[in-house]
Amino acid sequence: MILEQILSPSIWRTGLFAFCAIAAAMTLSLPSDSALAASAVSHFKLKNGMEVVVIPDHRAPVVTHMVWYRVGAADEKRGVSGIAHFLEHLMFKGTKKIAPGEFSKIVARNGGEDNAFTGQDATSYFQRVAKDRLPLVMEMEADRMVNLRLLEKDVLTERKVILEERRSRVENDPSNILSEQMTAALYQSHPYGTPILGWEHEMRILDRKAATDFYERYYAPNNAILVVAGDVTANEVKKLAHETYGKLKPRIERVRAARPKEPPHRAPIRINLEDPRAGRATVQRSYLAPSYTSAEPGEAEALDLMVKILASGSTSQIYKRLVVEQKKAASAGGWFSGSGLDSGSLGVYAVASDGVDIADVEEALDKALADFIEKGATQKDLDRARNSYIASHIYGGDNQVRLARRYGWGLVNGRTIADIEGWPARLEKVTLEDIKRVAKKYFDPAQSVTGVLRPVEKKNVDAKKAGHEDRKS
């Protein structure tokens, strides 16, 4: 099976950015890795309101230290899109104690690795270090939570960097341009429609003041969650947390405002993008769906299993039909993204086989969907899908970073430890009727955006040239 390559430039593009790939994986069913750690996890609050989660894992003398803020791109004011992500970059620019750019260098000098990312609902910073360096990174992270100091020149240089980042991730890759357009269309009012990186024209005018405003509004211990996984005990972390984060004063009223709600969608939306760089014609369709946080009890679990059966991997119905049997698609699949605070999304896609009209592929995809909605899945399908998720727990338990992320991501999105740890048990309750019901309910054309990406060869002399050279070689 060669799915990875096919899944188009977009997966490789994210593959190019190691942490982003992790983040993408995170948008899959959220709480799956908790089983092993369940009994050992501690959860408590500091007096200033900061939440703390400790996940012991004593196999290697290392720890993963993460701070999650309950703020993301969807909390930006209109017109300053990208500020949450920009601030995340600027958090490495120093404090009174730490010179610009030194943060990561200090971590590295201590044999550690650090990183950060921004999502629609969360912003997170993390370090992986030997366990005896935990006090150091806790002190540094606590320091920049309230003492960030930004120099005008650093802000302007970093703004060029985020514009290059946007060129790498979006402008150089038509499938990501399409995704961005589709997401913007899927959310007519809710800010999830605005890209995390920001719209380019708005990124160009982001400045020190916008970053500082956002920072002062949202970065505070009472809006943060500390997750420490690794070779530590809850008591050790508690003591260190009191000595570092515990000394910070809470800022008043850090709770983010409710976001605008989506109006009812009345009609399907289509987006056609022609781009000579597109490779092969691709069709994808996104549907509005609930997230784990916003769903009726059990629905998100059913959606996860439903999509696994219908569209995930080479054993899925869509793949077997479009790729194996009909041979109309070189690749086909789908996803359920249920980790958002306010909404999730559901989708399917197919990449046309050479010489097959993308309209035919879309028709076949529609037919497969319609049949699935009508007939549903078999018990064997359901058991296999469930089994596969439950196994992914156990595999996930091998990786402390994944465990830490699981808890941080869940808590920051309003889930409880019990929610996170109860996921496998809730999967067990999903029935074939549930699968059929959520498929029918959420594959609703009126709630959908269909995107078609077509390569337009003749307009692009350059792409042809590259192709020609390749054939010669």
Contacts to other proteins from residues 200-259, by CB under 8 A = 230
Look-up of token digits 């479009």? 322
Minimum distance of other proteins from residue 336's CB (angstroms): 9
CB nearer other proteins, residue 182 or residue 237: 182
CB nearer other proteins, residue 36 or residue 146: 36
Q: In this chain, which stretch among 248-256, 266-274, 337-345, 362-370 interacts with other proteins, using CB under 8 A?
A: 337-345
Q: In this chain, which stretch among 246-254, 260-268, 342-350, 430-438 interacts with other proteins, using CB under 8 A?
A: 342-350
CB nearer other proteins, residue 14 or residue 222: 14
> What are the start-end ranges of the H helices in 97-232?
102-109, 134-146, 152-166, 174-186, 200-203, 208-218
Using rule CB under 8 A, residue 33 touches other proteins? no
Among 44, 171, 235, 429, binds other proteins (CB under 8 A): 171
CB nearer other proteins, residue 338 or residue 376: 338
* Active-site annotation holder among 51, 88, 180, 301: 88
Among 94, 221, 290, 333, binds other proteins (CB under 8 A): 333
HSE-CB of 153 using CA atoms within 13 angstroms: 2
Look-up of token digits 């150089």? 172
Among 32, 353, 413, 450, binds other proteins (CB under 8 A): 353
- The DSSP 8-state label assigned to residue 460 in this structure reads -
Q: Which amino acid is at 444?
A: D
Beta-sheet strand order (sheet of 448-454): 269-274, 448-454, 282-289, 344-352, 329-337
Cα–Cα dist 361/470, whole Å: 27
Strands (E), 73-146: 113-118, 123-130
Minimum distance of other proteins from residue 103's CB (angstroms): 9
Buried b (16+ CB within 10 A) or exposed e, 35-46: bbbbeebbbeeb
Q: Which residues is 448 bridged to in the sheet?
A: 287
Using rule CB under 8 A, residue 25 touches other proteins? yes
Minimum distance of other proteins from residue 229's CB (angstroms): 10
CB within 8 Å of 387: residues ≥ 6 apart: none
Using rule CB under 8 A, residue 384 touches other proteins? yes
Using rule CB under 8 A, residue 7 touches other proteins? yes
- The DSSP 8-state label assigned to residue 257 in this structure reads P
Element housing 337 (H / E):
strand 329-337
Using rule CB under 8 A, residue 349 touches other proteins? yes
Using rule CB under 8 A, residue 394 touches other proteins? yes
Query: In the range 402-431, which residues lie near other proteins by CB under 8 A?
Result: none
Minimum distance of other proteins from residue 123's CB (angstroms): 8
Using rule CB under 8 A, residue 191 touches other proteins? no
Among 55, 62, 368, 453, binds other proteins (CB under 8 A): 62
C-beta of residue 196 within 8 angstroms of C-beta of residue 118: yes
Among 99, 108, 425, 456, binds other proteins (CB under 8 A): 108
Among 191, 290, 347, 408, binds other proteins (CB under 8 A): 347
Among 144, 280, 321, 454, binds other proteins (CB under 8 A): 280
Q: How far is CA 27 from CA 51, 216, 258, 261, 412, in A?
A: 23, 28, 21, 21, 14
Among 33, 51, 88, 202, binds other proteins (CB under 8 A): 88
Among 38, 42, 49, 115, binds other proteins (CB under 8 A): 115
Is 88 a catalytic site residue?
A: yes
Burial environment of residue 137 by CB neighbours within 10 A (0 to 12, 13 to 18, 19 or more): buried
Query: In the range 434-453, which residues lie near other proteins by CB under 8 A?
Result: none
Neighbours of 461 (CB within 10 A): 9
Element housing 226 (H / E):
strand 224-230
Query: In the range 127-166, which residues lie near other proteins by CB under 8 A?
Result: 128-130, 156-165
CB within 8 Å of 89: residues ≥ 6 apart: 158, 161, 162
Minimum distance of other proteins from residue 200's CB (angstroms): 10
Check residue 139 and give left, alpha or beta (phi > 0: left; psi -120 to 50: alpha): alpha
Cα–Cα dist 424/414, whole Å: 19
Among 77, 79, 101, 428, binds other proteins (CB under 8 A): 101
Using rule CB under 8 A, residue 432 touches other proteins? no
User: Under DSSP, is residue 128 helix (H, G, I), strand (E, B) or coil?
Assistant: strand
Neighbours of 58 (CB within 10 A): 11
Q: In this chain, which stretch among 10-18, 242-250, 262-270, 365-373 interacts with other proteins, using CB under 8 A?
A: 10-18
Using rule CB under 8 A, residue 194 touches other proteins? no
Q: What are the residue numbers of the active site?
A: 88
